[in-house]
Amino acid sequence: MPFLTSLTTLTSLTLSHLSPSHSLTLSLSHSLTLSPSRNMQSPFRKILYGALIIFCAVFTAFIFYNGRQKSNLPELKPRQGTLAKAPEWATTQANVNKLIHELEAKPNDARTLLMLSKEFMQEGRITGDYAYYNKASLDLIGRVLAKDAGNFEAICLKSMVYLSQHRFSEGRDVAMEALRVNPYNSFVYGLLCDANVELGNYDEAVKMADKMVTIRPDIRSYSRVSYVREIFGDMPGAIQAIQMAISAGYPGQEDTEWARMVLAHLYEDTNQWEKAKEQYQIALSERPDYPFALAGMGRIAQYQKDYPAAIQYLEKARNIMSDVAFLEQLSELYRLNNQPKEAEESARITLNALLADNITAQKNKDLGHYSDMELANLYLQQNDATKALEHARTEHARRPQNIDACETLAWVLYRNGQATEALPYAETALRTGSQHPERLVKMGVVLSASGKTTEGKDLISKGLSLKPYMDTSLVTIAKPFIGQ
């Protein structure tokens, strides 16, 4: 009897907080245990009593299990290698552990769920493990929206994850929901700027960037202003705005150093690679082994035709973060350095990763992200123009007004020997006046091959003057069109 008494007492203490009905059931069994009547000695009463005890034990186990299932939280994955030594890693772990501990006490606290979601989103950005952390964030956000469908912050974060997964139309639609909830918050205008840029609605993106910077001039809003200025070909204005963004941030923080990467890219695209190199070096001093800065230093070495040094930088960046761009760049560097086996292996790994991500997104959009444009470019790099065209068309169908998608489709069509069909897409790719050097050269080739020789030649010459150290294979294709 002592064992049965302690069991039902424990059950009552544990579950008395759940609901009146649970407490009623357990108080009944508790009274039976503590005050058994003489009649309980009858066989029937013994059977009834035993059944009640078993029922309570099973019910307790069910509630415990179900509670764990409902409060089950995604975990912070251990970092590997250099990322595990990053100065913010200890802080990230402490923050996540604190939030999880708080959620164990209050599983449905919206503020805590969203704070944990943001921690996971930032961790995905730092580690490159977007598939895991985007899904984890969406699960947490979904728990908040299930209780409060109008939670402004949750709606914004959901839009942000969708944009990260290249679900641009969905991301815009969700951001519009947030705008209806609160039209006075700068963050939602940043989301709408990003979504409209990706969908090719550039005039609307400008309006959203202007609205954002008016409400709150900070690193995020200045970054958006820089990007839309770049899209419309205002390179000095883009440089000025991103410098303001860097000044508004804290040196060493990931968002500040990312803004510095944007500045360095702008310098690369305006024939100022020395200034670009300086920015990469600053980033590495403020945030040691920042993989995007390492990749940038690799590009600088590539421009100087120091391929072994470039490979070292890119291999180090790749070992820190498996970013597709690093792997693509490595494939090209191995080829330039006469390492065909390594080039083939790097391309194979990249291709498999992109295909897996793309297939996953088609099956479950919360887990993967669409990567058709990256696949089109990679297949083209491997001289498989047929497969490149398949993915380029898919990407273009998803966002037909986006200048990057149009440029990709035009270039792939040209490489398939379909220059005439490529022409309208090339003209759409050029419609904003973008001064991106590679775009000017590629679209110049398409225009020249389609009979618009004067206009095409001017574009090629302009692109090569802006970035004379661009990819040698592209230069080789382009030079015959300007008589070189």
pLDDT of residue 386: 94
Domain end point (choices 38, 67, 96): 67
Q: Is residue 205 part of a domain?
A: no
pLDDT bucket at 35, cuts 50 / 70 / 90: very low
In a domain, 193, yes or no: no
Helix (H) or strand (E) holding 143: helix 130-147
The verdict on residue 208 lying in a domain is: no
Contact assessment for residue 405 and residue 398, using Cβ atoms and an 8 Å cutoff? yes
Residue 14 belongs to some domain of the structure: yes
DSSP for 228-251, written as a single string = HHHHTT-HHHHHHHHHHHHHHS-T
At residue 425, does pLDDT exceed 90?
yes
Residue 416, pLDDT > 90, answer: yes
Residue where a domain stops, chosen among 47, 67, 87: 67
Residues 6+ apart with CB under 8 A from 123: 76, 77, 92, 129, 133
Asked which of 67, 85, 107 is the last residue of a domain, the reply is: 67
- Mean pLDDT score, 58-62: 42
Q: What's residue 88's pLDDT?
A: 82
Residue 170 domain-assigned (yes or no): no
Which tokens in the block code for residue 83?
């990322």
Q: Are 413 and 376 in contact (CB under 8 A)?
A: no
In the prediction, which pLDDT does 347 show? Answer: 86
Q: Which of 168, 206, 128, 161 is nearest to 395 (CA)?
A: 168
CATH of the domain at 388: 1.25.40.10
User: What are 293-336's pLDDT values in tens digits?
Assistant: 999 999 999 999 999 999 999 999 998 887 888 988 999 999 99
Is the residue at 405 inside a domain? Answer: yes
Kindly report, residue by residue over 270-293, the tens digit of the pLDDT. 999 999 999 999 999 999 999 999
The residue written with tokens 């907080």 in the block is 17
Q: How many domains does the chain have?
A: 2
- Residue 129 in contact with residue 103, Cβ under 8 Å? no
pLDDT digits 0-9 by tens, 92-101: 999 999 999 9
Residue 361, in any domain of the structure = no
Q: 3-state SS string over 146-208? A: HHCCCCHHHHHHHHHHHHHCCCHHHHHHHHHHHHHHCCCCHHHHHHHHHHHHHHCCHHHHHHH
At residue 182, the 3 state secondary structure works out as coil
The pLDDT tens digits for 176-235 are: 999 999 999 999 999 999 999 999 999 999 999 999 999 999 999 999 999 999 999 999
For residue 80, tell me if it sits in a domain: no
What is the separation, in whole angstroms, between the first and last Cα of the chain?
Answer: 99
- Tell me the residue range of the domain where 449 lies: 371-484
Q: What is the largest CA-CA distance in the chain?
A: 111
